Structure 1
């Protein structure tokens, strides 16, 4: 399977980067064709430009993000590695969705009916590998994990409803011991070998 593994963390020695490396190694060992995208290392600019926003529904110009559009359209699976900051994805990853999952790429907007027609029909799997500084009960019970709902129901529901969604999170990361982190990396490896 063609898999794009996307990392959204500014520090190459972060736990998110370790999760990303573990996932990529397991995916390649399982025979998948893997392309890595490190949004920070590639210098991705997450903010929509005025010109992009002005033509968003008329004739969105993807030339500034063409390599990322090509990788997305090539992908049969996405593996997203990132931390949750303030119960949401980093601005870098949100900007990726804003600029790359655009009209004509990820969806077509029906201006008369307001409906969205999905265009990422080749995307079969999306896996999220993430961390929270908060304990499970705060992220899941109190906050109801808004980023997971947005990814699963909003983005995938609109752009790739056929894609299977997998979500692996390490909670209470701020107090995670080395053994707890190692167990999480082992879970990531097992999940990616089964993708």
Structure 2
């Protein structure tokens, strides 16, 4: 298995970073080839610019996008680790998707409608939220993430399987509960 792990949190000591450590451990135990993209450490530029569009129209790709697309093409599975801020993922991750999962690479338009160009790939999305489960569900936050990421982005791009899990109320739970969450991450990764 070739796993591309996309990590998006500015604090290297965050609970999301602890999730990243567990994900890497579990993938290593499965003898997976792993590439980790820490978007903040990379100082990834999340802005899809006019220059990017001009290069796409000229059948060219900015160097940073071409490198990321090569890694996505290499991977069997993408694992995304991110907090949810204001009912969505951070701009850094959204910008990564905007720039990397571009038309002509991840999808195309045909006479019969859009067609995903990344068939057979899988994704595992792991998020954390400050909201508890009841609040997150009542607010529509979880439905929005499912609609935009699971059914939107990855299904649109042709992914064969997308699994998603969120860990709720992370800032408010006890260390013991966080430990249980990390144990759950281990089990989640075993299912991908």
The two structures have a TM-score, normalised by structure 2, of: 0.92
Structure 1: runs of 5 or more not aligned = none
| DSSP-derived class of the 1:173 partner | coil
Q: Alignment length, in residue pairs?
A: 191
1:56-67 pair list within 5 angstroms? 56=56, 59=59, 61-67=61-67
Give 1:8-27 correspondences, 5 Å limit: 8-27=8-27
Q: Note if contact 1:117-1:158 (Cα within 8 Å) is conserved in structure 2.
A: yes
C-alpha contact 2:55 2:62 (8 A) present in aligned 1: no
Q: Distance in 1 between matches of 2:64 and 2:80?
A: 22
Of the structure 1 ranges 16-25 and 53-62, higher mean CA displacement relative to structure 2 is found in 53-62
Partner of 2:86: 86
Task: State how far apart, in whole Å, the 1-side matches of 2:57 and 2:146 are.
Answer: 26
Moved more, 51-60 or 16-25: 51-60
Q: Which residue of the partner structure matches residue 28 of structure 1?
A: 28
CA RMSD for the aligned pairs?
A: 1.7
Q: TM-score scaled by structure 1?
A: 0.91
Q: 1:63: how far off?
A: 2.5
- Ranges in structure 2 where 5+ consecutive residues have no aligned partner: none
Note if contact 1:73-1:122 (Cα within 8 Å) is conserved in structure 2.
no
C-alpha contact (below 8 Å) 1:75/1:122 kept by paired residues = no
What is the SS of the residue equivalent to 1:174? coil
Task: Indicate the SS of the match to 1:34.
Answer: strand
Instruction: Determine helix, strand or coil for the equivalent of 2:155.
Output: helix
